[in-house]
Copies of this chain bind each other. A is one copy, B any other.
Amino acid sequence: MKLSIVISTQPAKFDALAYKGQLAENIIKIRRLGYDGVELAVRDPEQIDLPTVKMLTVGRGFPVSAIGTGQAFGEEGLSFSDPDEKIRREAIDRIKAQIALAEQLEALVIIGLIRGIVQPGIETRQANGWILDALSECASENPSVSLVIEPCNRYEANTVNTVNDGIELIDKLGMSNVGLLLDTFHMNIEEPDMLQSIENAGDRIFHFHIADSNRWYPGAGHIDFPAVVEQLKRIGYDGFLSAEIIPMPDPDTAAAKNISFMRGLVG
């Protein structure tokens, strides 16, 4: 397994990001800390200086593990489950742009908060239909780019809260380039038994987020990371463990603590 950490490509409101701004400097810094790659949180691919990002990452043999897309919901309100068809279309087009970016960076595209919040008065079945349609269209866009559905805890989303919800969605969709992204922080709230949920998800797991129970760096809370890593090894997961953590007590310390603790577990 490889280790990466989320950095934002532009300032963001959402605070569970280890770094904000100063992209080049930050990529160099986390590489020096010993990370195997970087996960990029991108609001809008149009605002990315692609040649520079490519040169700093894949161009130097430093992979981009995934592209996070939630800022387009958090900051612009774009979502797959908005009752306004125009907004749903914008969300789908934005994800298609992320897919084009992901192809250049050889990365996965995360489908998390972009699913949106099912609004009062909208039937869940209707919203789930919109989400399924959007996913299906996006996944067909480029079969060489994988999409990963992230189950998010009840406070952040009202669709796909549990790993089981995610498994059902993946299986319903039945497309080989769509998998799951499990996140230990969300699982601590939603899963009765995180290790069992990892086993249930099995080879549908394409990407994995780590954060401790309080969303600080692993080791700062009570999640049993040795057992999580052991279980991931057991099911044959060999992708990234990507830290999506609150930058506390400060971003540099959080990034250093994470790599030091996790390197001891994954080798």
Contact = CB atoms under 8 A, between A and B. Distances in A.
Contacts of A214: 189-192
A226 interface: no
A222 B192 CA distance: 5
Nearest to A156: B155
Contact of A221 (B155, B192, B216): B192
A188 interface: yes
Interface of A: 155-156, 188-194, 212-214, 216, 220-222
A131 B213 CA distance: 28
Contacts of A193: 222
Contacts of A221: 192
Which one of A190, A214, A216, A220 has the highest number of Cβ atoms from chain B below 10 Å of its Cβ?
A: A214
A191 B191 CA distance: 18
Given A192-B222, A193-B222, 17 more contacts: A155-B155, A155-B156, A188-B188, A188-B189, A188-B213, A188-B222, A189-B213, A189-B214, A190-B214, A191-B214, A192-B212, A192-B213, A192-B214, A192-B216, A192-B220, A192-B221, A194-B222
Nearest to A219: B192
A239 B214 CA distance: 28
Contacts of A216: 192
A156 B153 CA distance: 13
A214 B193 CA distance: 10
A155 B158 CA distance: 14
A221 B192 CA distance: 4
A165 to B, nearest CB: 13
Contacts of A156: 155
A198 B216 CA distance: 21
8 contacts: A155-B155, A189-B214, A191-B222, A192-B213, A192-B221, A192-B222, A193-B222, A194-B222
